[in-house]
Each structure stands twice: as structure tokens, then as C-alpha cells.
């Protein structure tokens, strides 16, 4: 296999990152709206939904960019003088999730909303991430999401002659297993609204903290990368907010 693995559509080669990222967004959005239609509680007014969407999108964009810049500080510092436009490239899922969550909570606070809106996102996030990471895998070295060298039989040569951990595939598999575990592990348990969303975030951030040890990384503080430090923050925030949920309040049902 030669990387990047282009996708041929009607005779035109398309970059795999573009194709699978678009598919991930599309599948996640379709699944989200499908699950929303199946929910019993009344939908939020259109204006409130739009403000939540604005908060989520802007927060995710800002968070993904900021963490990407911090994670590869020296790389982007060099681009600042040679190719400033390239600063708009690069993003991280960890930063996007943290930023999107912060953006939604900020919008909810401004709107005076106390209702949790997160549980419906568990499966869309898992499916979208799993598909998107396939694009990272098929892109190869230029995506910079590959793992360190390994002697394991499933190591992948992304083009530099080194067998590496396919950490992108590890993540695709993990997020789907995590969503399944939350679904089947909680479907007969009364949980407050928002608990499944926080369980997913806690599990995902814990996974990202661990999987980063299998990737080449800059370690600016206590032998940890910026993504690992952000992941630790994510785990703490998710578990803290999970603990603070009103456990005697009306519960949510799994999607």
C-alpha cells in the first residue's frame, strides 16, 4: 500500500483526509438528527438550537487550533515567518472536543439553560471520529497521527520504511467499543441526563492520554505532551461534572 491512498470518484483522485473527514461529519450529523427525532422530550426552540450550534462550532474550531499550535509549537513558530497562512491548518480532536464543550456550556449559560443536551452526541461523536480517523490512516505520514516504531506483526509502513503502530486505527476501534460499552452497560440503569456524555468524554480523554505514549511527541512539561495535559484536564472535568449531576433528577434513556 502506498500512502496517501487516494479515493477515486468518477475518475478523479480525492485526498483521503478530505473524503473521510467529510464522511465522518455527514454520518455523525445524520445520526444525531435521527436520534433527536426519537427522543421523547420536547425539542429546544430553533433560536436556542442555533446559539448552541454557534457556541459548539466556534468553541471546537478555536480549541482545536489552539491545542494544535501548542502541541507543535516549534513547527508553527517557524511557519509564522515563512508561511503564515499555514497557521490555519492543523487541528486536534482533543482540543475540538474541549472547545466545543466549553462553547456549548457558555451558550447555555447565556441562554439560561440548565437542561443537559449531551447524551445524544455519544454515538454521533463515536461514529464520526471512527470514520475520520480512517482518513488520517490513509493519509500516511503527512497527517502526523502515526505511531512510533513497533515490531508487532500489524505494524504499518507509512512510506518511510519504518513499521509503526497504526494509532489511527486503534482510535477508530476504541471509540466504537467505548460507545457500545456505555450503551449496553447503562441501558438498564437510571442515569441523570448528561451522564453518558460525560462517561464518553472521560473514556475518550483517558484513551488519548494513554495512546499518545505510542506517538512521536514533544514533551514540554513533566514528560507529557500538550495533548496529554489537555486530556488529563478533560478527564478531570468530565468526572467532576459527572459527580455533580443531579442523580435524583429525571433520568435519560440510552439511544
- pTM of the model as a whole: 0.90
Q: Is residue 86 part of a domain?
A: no
Q: How many domains does the chain have?
A: 1
Q: Name the DSSP class of 91.
A: -
Distance CA 177, CA 166 (A): 17
Query: What is the sign, positive or negative, of the torsion defined by CA atoms of 41, 239, 136, 63?
Result: positive
Q: Which domain holds residue 126?
A: 7-44+115-252
Q: Is residue 105 part of a domain?
A: no
Can you give the pLDDT at residue 88?
A: 61
Can you give the pLDDT at residue 202?
A: 98
- Contact assessment for residue 155 and residue 164, using Cβ atoms and an 8 Å cutoff: yes
Q: Which residues contact 55 (CB under 8 A, 6 or more apart)?
A: 103, 104, 105, 106, 107, 108
Distance CA 145, CA 162 (A): 15
pLDDT tens, per residue, the chain with 255 residues:
899 999 998 889 999 999 999 999 999 989 988 887 887 666 678 788 788 888 988 999 999 989 988 887 766 666 666 766 555 667 899 999 999 999 999 999 999 988 777 898 999 999 999 999 999 999 999 888 999 999 999 999 999 999 999 999 999 999 999 999 999 999 888 899 899 999 999 999 999 999 999 999 877 667 899 999 999 999 999 999 999 998 875 556 565
Q: CB-hemisphere CA count at 13 Å for 64?
A: 15
Can you give the pLDDT at residue 205?
A: 98
Q: Is residue 201 part of a domain?
A: yes
Distance CA 190, CA 155 (A): 42
Distance CA 157, CA 11 (A): 27
Q: Is residue 191 part of a domain?
A: yes
Q: Is residue 14 part of a domain?
A: yes
Q: Is residue 199 part of a domain?
A: yes
Q: Is residue 70 part of a domain?
A: no
Q: Is residue 62 part of a domain?
A: no
Amino acid at each position: 500500500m502506498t500512502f496517501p491512498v487516494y479515493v477515486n470518484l468518477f475518475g478523479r483522485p480525492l485526498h483521503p483526509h478530505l473524503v473521510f473527514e467529510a464522511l465522518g461529519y455527514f454520518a455523525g450529523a445524520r445520526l444525531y438528527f435521527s436520534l433527536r427525532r426519537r427522543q421523547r422530550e420536547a425539542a429546544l426552540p430553533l433560536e436556542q438550537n442555533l446559539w448552541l450550534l454557534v457556541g459548539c462550532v466556534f468553541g471546537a474550531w478555536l480549541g482545536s487550533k489552539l491545542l494544535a499550535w501548542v502541541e507543535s509549537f516549534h513547527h508553527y513558530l517557524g511557519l509564522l515567518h515563512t508561511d503564515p497562512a499555514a497557521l490555519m491548518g492543523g487541528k486536534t480532536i482533543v482540543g475540538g472536543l474541549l472547545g466545543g464543550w466549553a462553547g456549548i456550556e457558555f451558550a447555555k449559560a447565556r441562554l439560561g439553560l440548565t437542561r443537559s443536551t449531551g447524551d445524544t452526541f455519544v454515538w454521533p461523536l463515536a461514529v464520526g471520529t471512527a470514520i475520520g480517523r480512517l482518513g488520517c490512516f490513509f493519509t500516511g505520514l503527512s497527517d502526523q497521527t502515526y505511531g512510533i516504531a513497533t515490531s508487532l506483526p500489524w505494524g504499518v509502513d507509512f512510506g518511510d520504511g519504518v513499521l509503526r503502530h497504526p494509532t489511527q486505527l486503534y482510535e477508530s476501534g476504541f471509540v466504537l467499543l467505548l460507545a457500545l460499552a456505555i450503551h449496553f452497560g447503562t441501558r438498564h440503569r437510571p442515569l441523570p441526563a448528561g451522564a453518558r456524555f460525560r462517561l464518553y468524554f472521560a473514556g475518550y480523554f483517558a484513551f488519548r492520554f494513554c495512546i499518545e505514549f505510542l506517538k512521536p511527541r514533544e514533551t514540554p512539561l513533566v514528560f507529557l505532551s500538550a495533548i496529554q495535559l489537555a486530556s488529563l484536564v478533560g478527564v478531570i472535568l468530565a468526572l467532576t461534572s459527572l459527580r455533580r449531576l443531579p442523580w435524583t433528577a429525571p433520568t435519560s434513556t440510552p439511544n
